[in-house]
Structure 1
Amino acid sequence: MKRSTLGRALVLPTTAALAFGLVACGSANEESGSGGVTINGAGASSQEAAQNAWRTGFLENNDGTINYDPVGSGGGREQFTTGGVEFAGSDAYLDDEEVKAAQERCGEGGFVEIPAYVSPVALITNIEGVDSLKLKPGTIAKIFNQKITKWNDPEIAESNPNVDLPDTTIVPVNRADESGTTENFVEYLKAAAPEQWPHEVSGNWPVDGGEAAQGTSGVVQAVKNGSGTIGYADASRAGDLTTVEVGVGDEFVQYSPEAASAVLDVSERVEGRGEHSFAFDLARDTTESGTYPIVLVSYLLACSNYDNADKATMVKDYLNYVVSAEGQKVAAEQAGSAPISDDLRSKVQPAIESIGSSNSGS
């Protein structure tokens, strides 16, 4: 399955990250093992709300400063592999060249790569008189490829026998900007409906026509303000719009945190990248009951070894908090993400515990 490569060209200076820092101190923080140090991170904007929640929660009981600059996945990976930040967030796992760069940067022990943020991507609709809708993968592909153009098309009706579908023109709404959400949605279409979706995977929308909108908020507004519209957006932004139940095997699945995170549990880990890399080729074409395959999985990147022992401890403590049940719950409440499973948590925690320093002091 093709690995996403979105945003590789976007790189901003790490100094910009300082505007996004959170600081905590006081007697409650004396129990921290990381001390009053500063660590910098940069990367995926999809993680921004979750990073804010994680940093706030972590710094309630830990002394120090954590900065996160939502510069974009490509910028975060670049800053991490060149040593500009201690950790990074990315909506795609490292490619082969980046793996080599990360290994060179991190040295002995290699790098840590763990999925920490899972977000279902909802198909949102605004069709007069229709408050529930089921669509198979091939039908979804034909709609967004503009091969099915009416909501009462027989193929849609077959999956919705009890729905009064109107003779209304379908208006597909896509992102106008290069987008990780687009890339993950297109990756799903390519895997689940390859015959109906002939386009290559990219963060840029490949089909001309339809309606384009800037950013997630733009897509949501275009769907809400239109008639017969359908678009794709982070599920946390769906609001009161009707969302599609997606065909998976012989059933139709509504997105939920449990269904979204279940995809990782049925996906294959990418091998040959080091023992602390937990990159997954997502099973977009899964037929496993109860899974929702249209998801964005965002990773955290760190080194197993840092020159500064205090920073190493801070990074390890912070990542442990992020993947903890508490950290995942905070992100779910504040950012609408899907908590990772206990099984996956148990697998990635040894990688986090590997983080340390070859130096005894700072």
Structure 2
Amino acid sequence: MKLRLGAVLVSGALVLLTACGTDDNSGLPGAVDFSVENLRCAPSGTLLASGSSAQANAMEVWVNTYQANCEDSQINYKATGSGAGVQEFLQGTTAFAGSDSQLTESEVEESRRVCRDGGRAVHLPMVAGPIAVAYQLPGVDDLVLDAETLARIFDSDIRRWNDPAIAELNPDARLPDIPITPFHRSDGSGTTDNFTSYLNASAPEAWPYEPDKSWRGRGGQSADGSSGLVGMVQQNPGAISYFELSYAHQNDLDTVRLDTGADEPVEATVENSSNAVAQADVTGEDGDLALELDYATRETGVYPIVLVTYEIVCDRGNDPATLDLVKAFLTYTAGEDGQRALGEIDYAPISDDIIQQVRQRIDAMD
């Protein structure tokens, strides 16, 4: 059974993803297969979760698929952004949070008030993918930039598209003499955290700011959510911004190829970002699966501006009213069917060795 998202209601139990303002990004490319064999359904119930807008498209597929096969369950994921999602989880109003950034030590400590029986919040890496740098530049559909040039653009140090630093990286391009308008997220965002992690790791002199969910660069303009940034790039010649690859593809936006120092510039693709995730190390302890990415890699075929979205859950002491449904839903998303669906919508599945550990942690939740 193949249905097109955004066009068909799967069942009477379907809850459409709400996107808190501007992050509704329905209308995924192609037909999505909602049929899954042997999907384990929990007893009927309702599950509330919120957070990362980067995984909104993945969640749309996962929620629709789960509900198509488990009609007595209702799952409502709100793409409020990582910062807001984590806060709602820590307030005990949601069963889990999606976050593109790792929790701080103080947030983990705060989670002990929500997670009962001595539990705490842990990171379950569930979906990954490239952060594309998209632009609107009349007459230029192939653009190469490096970390230093990107940092100077987003810190308002390079202000026009025919700047010598850009021209040197694009000797064959006819760069127009028009202003550059960089756009960044106005809301707390794991996408911003990962994008600025790349800038800081790869061009620390040009981007001296510590990575953060909140924007720290100078100048530029802002918009709310990933799709808010998409709208700004679409509406403004000379604009440049950053958001998940799925948003760029769905809106037919040109994206930058990165000069990382490898043999040739690397494109933002699922395969190239999967290569980056495969190099990540698990740095979490005691069952936590937080990852460390190499943003400054120079390996051929590795796209370094990658984010990993974690589902933030209690390792112990979950609410008994929702525990079975949380485990059933996350078991599906971490399973072969849930991970296989990611590659069809511009996301990268988590590598086999790590996703096996995720499945074990879900099984052990209580």
TM-score (norm 1): 0.78
Alignment check: 8 A CA contact 1:29 1:60 kept = no
SS of the residue aligned with 1:339? coil
Of 144, 163, 166, 1:153 maps to 163
The alpha carbon displacement at 1:301 in A equals 2.0
Identity across matched positions, percent: 37
Q: Does 1:247 pair with 2:226?
A: no
**What whole-Å deviation, never above 9, does each CA across 1:23-82 have from its counterpart, x for those lacking one?**
xxxxx9998462223333233333333323212212333343333344443343344345
Once the two structures are superposed, what CA deviation does each residue of 1:283-324 show, in whole Å capped at 9, x if it has no partner?
211223222222232211223445776843332221121122
Equivalents in 1 of 2:179, 2:284: separation in Å?
A: 46
**Alignment gaps of 5+ in structure 2:** 1-14, 19-35
Contact 1:268/1:283, CA 8 A, preserved across alignment: no
Name the SS of the counterpart of 2:54 in structure 1: helix
Higher mean C-alpha displacement, 73-82 vs 86-95: 73-82
Once residues 324 and 227 of structure 2 are traced to their aligned partners in structure 1, the CA distance between those partners, rounded to angstroms, is 38
Whether 1:74 and 2:83 are equivalent positions in the alignment is yes
The residue aligned with 1:87 is 96
For the pair 1:51 / 2:59, whether they are aligned, the reply is yes
Counterparts of residues 90-109 of structure 1 (less than 5 Å): 90-103=99-112, 105-107=115-117
Shift of the alpha carbon at 1:89? 1.6
More deviation, 300-309/94-103: 300-309
Q: Select 2:309's aligned residue among 271, 293, 298.
A: 298
Shift of 1:186: 1.8
Q: Is the 8 A contact 2:82 2:188 kept in 1?
A: no
**Which structure: larger Rg?**
1
Distance 1:179 1:215 in 2: 8
Per-residue CA deviation, residues 240-274 of structure 1 (Å, 9 max, x unaligned), is 322100122323111111222332222232234x2
Task: Write the letter of the residue equivalent to 2:276.
Answer: V
CA 1:158–1:308 in 2, change beyond 3 Å: closer, same or farther? closer
- Greater percentage in helix: 1
3-state DSSP class of the match of 1:60?
helix
Taking the TM superposition and a 5 Å limit, the aligned residue runs for 1:339-358 are 339-356=349-366
In structure 2, the CA distance between the partners of 1:271 and 1:240, relative to structure 1 (3 Å rule), is closer
Q: For this pair of structures, how many residues does the alignment match? A: 330
Structure 1 residue runs without a partner (length 5+):
1-17, 22-27, 357-362
2:297 corresponding residue in structure 1: 286
Query: Does the aligned pair in 2 maintain the 1:187–1:201 contact within 8 Å?
Result: yes
The equivalent residue for 1:128 is 138
- Paired residue for 1:271? 284
Structure 1 position 327, deviation (Å): 1.3
- Aligned partners of 1:35 and 1:310 also within 8 Å: no
Match of 1:338, SS state, is coil
Alignment CA distance shift 1:168-1:350 (3 Å) = same
Distance in 2 between residues matched to 1:20 and 1:130, nearest whole Å: 35
**1:82, 1:101 within 8 Å by CA — same for their partners in 2?**
no
**Partner-residue secondary structure (3-state), 1:42:** strand
SS at match of 2:243: strand
> Alignment partner for residue 176 of structure 2, among 162, 166, 171?
166
1:338 offset after TM fit, Å? 2.5
Matched with 1:34 is 42
Task: Pick closer, same or farther for the CA change 1:44–1:241 going to 2, 3 Å.
Answer: closer
- CA distance, structure 2, for counterparts of residue 102 and residue 96 of structure 1: 10
CA deviations on 1:162-217 (whole Å, 9 max, x unpaired) are 32333443332333444333332222211111011122333333344344444433
| Stretch of structure 1 that moved more, 317-326 or 78-87 | 78-87
Q: State the alpha-carbon separation in 2 of the partners of residues 209 and 46 from structure 1.
A: 24
| Superposition pairs of residues 12-31 of structure 1, within 5 angstroms | none
Distance in 2 between the 1:339 and 1:170 partners?
34
Further displaced range: 122-131 or 195-204: 195-204
SS at match of 2:300: coil
Distance 1:286 1:155 in 2: 22
RMSD: 3.1
Distance of 1:228 and 1:30 partners within structure 2: 50
Residues 1:75 and 1:205: Cα distance change in structure 2 (over 3 Å): closer
Per the alignment, in what secondary structure is the counterpart of residue 191 of structure 1?
helix
Q: Aligned to 1:253, what secondary structure does the other structure show? A: coil
Q: Distance in 2 between matches of 1:47 and 1:249?
A: 29
* CA distance in structure 1 between the aligned counterparts of 2:91 and 2:215, rounded to whole angstroms: 30
Distance 1:254 1:39, change over 3 A: same
